[in-house]
Structure 1
Amino acid sequence: MDPLQKVSPFRLPYLLRREKNPKLALQLFRNPNSNNPLKLFRYSLPSYDIIITKLGRAKMFNEIEQILAQMSQETRFIPKEIIFCNIISFYGRSRLSEQALRTYNGIPAFRCQRTVKSFNSLLNALLNCRELEKIREIYKDIDRYASPDACTYNILINACRLSNSLDDAWKLFDEMRRKDIKPNAITFGTLISVLCANSKLDDAFRLKEDMLRIFGLKPNAFVYASLIKGLCKANELDLAFNLKDEILLEKTVELDSAIYTTLISELFRAGRKGEVSGILEEMTRIGCKPDTITYNAMISGFCNEKDFDSAFALLNEMTEKGCKPDVISYNVIIAGFCMDGRLKEAIELFEDMPRRKCAPDVVSYRILFDGLCDGMELKEAALILDEMVFKGLIPRASSANKFVGMLCQEDKMDLLTSVLNTLAKGNAVDMDTWKVVISVVIQKSELLDLSKLVDTLVLS
């Protein structure tokens, strides 16, 4: 765009939408006419909507608050509720429950009427944050906020699923019917999932029949997936396969990879891995492509059986079939190697991950670090720890303290000093770490070494 070209309030939303970089978009929003910065710019509602969405996706929350403060001064329009719903959702995905609640409470200050839409956004955000008690607290005063709809109850029932509260889920379902709020397929799917998780399979299948008979709703893929998972959990694998065959025969719903992945995992668990190839053939026949989760289930199954050659073969097969292995694919094999004491192979695969275009994550480092500690490869563990901290990652506190204790027990005082320095750089030295050091050193009557250790850390 020509920098001298004037940007009108009508053109700004178009330019913001085109700009992929959220920081540059914010810069454009704040100063749309850089050649005349003193002239008052009349922002439109779409401009606010677009910039807030871009900032939310980039998790630039401080900037969002600044934009909201600016928008609160607007008198030419009233912001739409959907803008606040989006902000609440962004906070929920980032596990920022207090900010989500504050945004919801602040909607009236913008002269915007709150409805059940923003209330549901808040409930869902709190659900993402696992603030189940807060959800119960808000629900008690539900009539003060909005008139609940099916979506409201779906979120509440899902909260019961996460807290494994079957009785509360049933009460909510009965309450819906008393209030003449018609449940939908998501309602039944969530409730059936709760029943299956509580091994109430007869009730789950009965509710599935009621969906069609009483409410005229066809069970969807989520309902069938929950039932199949429930049967697998109850070690009724043959019944799970019968249900899968029933779906195929009646063409009730389209079977997806999630259902097949569940069955594949259970075949490995039941020691029936020989049947997995038949499942894969069936998936190909009906046009259901195995995804990364499906392959990871098979990789995990082979690793549990210490069949690492087959697990590796799947990595290559995934690449050949255009299904890119993810970090979980590698982490599962590295963990399998560590558990089997094959630390050299674990290190080699870990170091080979970048070449395979998959960077190790914090879980990768923690798996390898724990494996090296368990295998008493203390120098290698210290090197991995140093690399972790350099990348801004830290081990689990229990693992770090265990490692420090091992170094003390093995009289590796020079290495201990280095490790404590590394942990200090990552702000990972806590009181428990010092308790481990002090208790072991005092037990060995090496107070002089301890004083030297403290002096070294203070001076570093």
Structure 2
Amino acid sequence: MNPASLSHLWPVPVPVFEKSEMNSLQSHSWHPSLIRVSAHSSSANYSGNQPRFPQLAPVTTPTTRISRDSTRPRKKSSPTNDKSEAQELVRLLMRKFTDKEPLLKTLNKYVKMVRTEHCFLLFEELGKNDKWLQCLEVFRWMQKQRWYIADNGVYSKLISVMGKKGQTRMAMWLFTEMRNSGCRPDSSVYNALITAHLHSRDKTRALAKALGYFEKMKGIERCKPNIVTYNILLRAFAQAGNVEQVNSLFKDLDESFVSSDIYTFNGVMDAYGKNGMIREMESVLSRMKRNQCKPDIITFNLLIDSYGKRQEFDKMEQVYKSLLRSKLKPTLPTFNSMILNYGKARLREKAEHVYKSMNDMGYKPSFITYESLIYMYGLCDNVSRARELFDGLVVSKVRINVSTLNAMLEVYCMNGLPMEADVLFERASSIQVLPDSSTYKLLYKAYTKANMKELLDKLLKHMDKDGIVPNKRFFLDALGAIGSLPAKSGSTSATTRSSRSQDFAKSS
């Protein structure tokens, strides 16, 4: 499909929206399908050329120039706000949870204050910290309180938390427990159960289970599938590349009393786009147009990112122009995606032009923007420019994220500069950045590939000292290469190093 033929899918300009429609569209800007640019390394060679970079002042300016990807102002929490008070109490409870003061003891201490809304927030916080067993403790504690009334909302939340942590059996047990307690399941409970199954590793079985629940819901009046059900299933099958099932679900949706919404189309297009299924993505875009569902900024961003990843830049630029002609405005992910994808194609000048346009339009770069620029220069064989950007951030005294450190380290590694990577790694503590497991993994692979035994030994010592215990896969990816390395006089042998690596793997 050439760019011109895209006009029947994406008219230029896009339809003019009324003010009320704009408010509706803007309300979707925090939808989970918002594109986040993820950078991947590729092989490149070091080049000392330093091109002119337009408007570099933001790199070394004070911290006020750095923003997050959100363009929405944050609301200041009010002390009198009920939600704020509930969140404050939950934060207090989370701080009190220690080995010396167990969870139940803390809850009993604050028993006069804790209610259902606090427990809901506790479920979320404990789930984020991988403490799903403690979620069950809170649940059992709730059941003993006078104010507790069994309802579907509590079970839906717990099933959702268990699903996200891969605890499908526990989610099923909670579903059974709910029915035994006298609660009658509704659509929200089944939606949570379907989502829980879709988080399991066996995707084929999970999708089959999800369809089974979907068909069961159709036969229960109070559990009829709603738009959330369809959105969950459509996105899941699109991610699995099952076009036939997606079409079947769309047909079923058209025949039901449920109407598609913007999340329906964005979710499916995003899944297809991430899988490189551009033709299928465009087919859903056509369907969206036929349904007279107006695009939001998420729609534009996912199309820009999908075309960019496939290096179909003519289409990407056409969508971007449509966005500029609409009443919507680009967001930071719009620019970050274009910068990185131009970089992957080694189109440095175009990437720089996007950055200049972004600044001219008054957007403040975020850390993701700088990371995208650093990767772009690394991919374009210009390590010195990437290093200049990173050093500018350090000099500006802003807090450096570990992801930004990893971006610079990966630029060194992809350009065959392991010694420079080691120097920066040793500097990390002086710029107040704590390496994470991703840091160690990328360095481990790079040092192994470069046959740098001394650096590898030093890295293993750092891992041991910092308590980094990687999983088996971490080492299995590199053990073959390490075992084949020739032994070098005066250094740890390859056999010994392999043995140490296996010890780490066994302990995980």
Please tell me whether the aligned partners of residues 315 and 325 of structure 1 are also in contact (alpha carbons under 8 angstroms): no
Q: Tell me how far 1:227 sits from its aligned partner.
A: 2.2
Please tell me whether the aligned partners of residues 292 and 323 of structure 1 are also in contact (alpha carbons under 8 angstroms): no
Counterpart code for 1:113: R
Q: Which runs of 5+ in 2 are unaligned?
A: 1-84, 218-222
Instruction: Measure the CA separation in 2 of the matches of 1:406 and 1:85.
Output: 53
Q: Which residue of 1 aligns with 2:376?
A: 301
Q: Which residue of 2 aligns with 1:85?
A: 156
Query: 1:354 and 2:429 equivalent?
Result: yes
Query: 1:21 and 2:21 equivalent?
Result: no
Q: Which residue of 1 aligns with 2:485?
A: 406
Q: Tell me how far 1:244 sits from its aligned partner.
A: 0.6
Please tell me whether the aligned partners of residues 162 and 171 of structure 2 are also in contact (alpha carbons under 8 angstroms): yes
Change beyond 3 A, Cα 1:92–1:314: farther
Q: Which residue of 1 aligns with 2:108?
A: 30
Q: Which residue of 2 aligns with 1:157?
A: 234
Please tell me whether the aligned partners of residues 90 and 121 of structure 2 are also in contact (alpha carbons under 8 angstroms): yes
Please tell me whether the aligned partners of residues 327 and 361 of structure 1 are also in contact (alpha carbons under 8 angstroms): yes
Q: Tell me how far 1:320 sits from its aligned partner.
A: 6.9
Q: Which structure 2 residues correspond to residues 263-274 of structure 1 after superposition, within 5 A?
A: 263-274=338-349
Change beyond 3 A, Cα 1:322–1:247: farther
Greater C-alpha radius of gyration = 1
For 1:406, what is the secondary structure of its paired residue?
coil
Query: 1:170 and 2:247 equivalent?
Result: yes
Instruction: Measure the CA separation in 2 of the matches of 1:374 and 1:144.
Output: 52
Instruction: Measure the CA separation in 2 of the matches of 1:232 and 1:44.
Output: 48
Q: Which residue of 1 aligns with 2:410?
A: 335
Cα deviations by residue, 1:67-94 (Å, 9 ceiling, x for unpaired): 3334445676422322222222322333
Cα deviations by residue, 1:366-413 (Å, 9 ceiling, x for unpaired): 222232233332233122123223423234223134324426x55889
Q: Which runs of 5+ in 1 are unaligned?
A: 1-10, 34-40, 431-460
Q: Which residue of 2 aligns with 1:250?
A: 326
Please tell me whether the aligned partners of residues 324 and 330 of structure 2 are also in contact (alpha carbons under 8 angstroms): yes
Please tell me whether the aligned partners of residues 208 and 219 of structure 1 are also in contact (alpha carbons under 8 angstroms): no
Q: Which residue of 2 aligns with 1:241?
A: 317
Instruction: Measure the CA separation in 1 of the matches of 2:409 and 2:95.
Output: 36
Q: Tell me how far 1:16 sits from its aligned partner.
A: 5.1
Q: How many residues align?
A: 410
Q: Which residue of 2 aligns with 1:458?
A: none
Instruction: Measure the CA separation in 1 of the matches of 2:391 and 2:340.
Output: 20
Instruction: Measure the CA separation in 2 of the matches of 1:429 and 1:29.
Output: 35
Please tell me whether the aligned partners of residues 257 and 291 of structure 1 are also in contact (alpha carbons under 8 angstroms): yes
Please tell me whether the aligned partners of residues 95 and 128 of structure 1 are also in contact (alpha carbons under 8 angstroms): yes
Instruction: Measure the CA separation in 1 of the matches of 2:113 and 2:347.
Output: 68
Please tell me whether the aligned partners of residues 59 and 90 of structure 1 are also in contact (alpha carbons under 8 angstroms): no
Q: Which residue of 2 aligns with 1:183?
A: 260
Counterpart code for 1:91: M
Please tell me whether the aligned partners of residues 207 and 237 of structure 2 are also in contact (alpha carbons under 8 angstroms): no
Q: Which of 433, 438, 445 is the equivalent residue of 1:363?
A: 438
Q: Which of 190, 208, 228 is the equivalent residue of 2:285?
A: 208
Cα deviations by residue, 1:209-257 (Å, 9 ceiling, x for unpaired): 5535x43421112222232234334533123112211211122x32112
Query: 1:108 and 2:176 equivalent?
Result: no
Q: Which has the higher helix share?
A: 1
Q: Tell me how far 1:285 sits from its aligned partner.
A: 3.5
When the two structures are superposed, what TM-score results if normalisation uses the length of structure 1? Answer: 0.77
Q: Tell me how far 1:315 sits from its aligned partner.
A: 1.7
Q: Tell me how far 1:186 sits from its aligned partner.
A: 0.8
Counterpart code for 1:179: S
Change beyond 3 A, Cα 1:32–1:208: closer
Counterpart code for 1:135: L
For 2:235, what is the secondary structure of its paired residue?
helix
Instruction: Measure the CA separation in 1 of the matches of 2:137 and 2:94.
Output: 20
Cα deviations by residue, 1:33-86 (Å, 9 ceiling, x for unpaired): 8xxxxxxx9985456445444433433222222333344456764223222222
Instruction: Measure the CA separation in 1 of the matches of 2:390 and 2:235.
Output: 35
Change beyond 3 A, Cα 1:334–1:194: closer
Instruction: Measure the CA separation in 2 of the matches of 1:53 and 1:110.
Output: 23
Please tell me whether the aligned partners of residues 369 and 381 of structure 1 are also in contact (alpha carbons under 8 angstroms): yes
Please give the root-mean-square deviation of Cα atoms over the aligned residues, in Å: 3.5
Q: Which residue of 2 aligns with 1:144?
A: 216
Q: Tell me how far 1:99 sits from its aligned partner.
A: 2.6
Counterpart code for 1:28: T
When the two structures are superposed, what TM-score results if normalisation uses the length of structure 2? Answer: 0.70
Q: Tell me how far 1:267 sits from its aligned partner.
A: 1.9
Query: 1:377 and 2:452 equivalent?
Result: yes
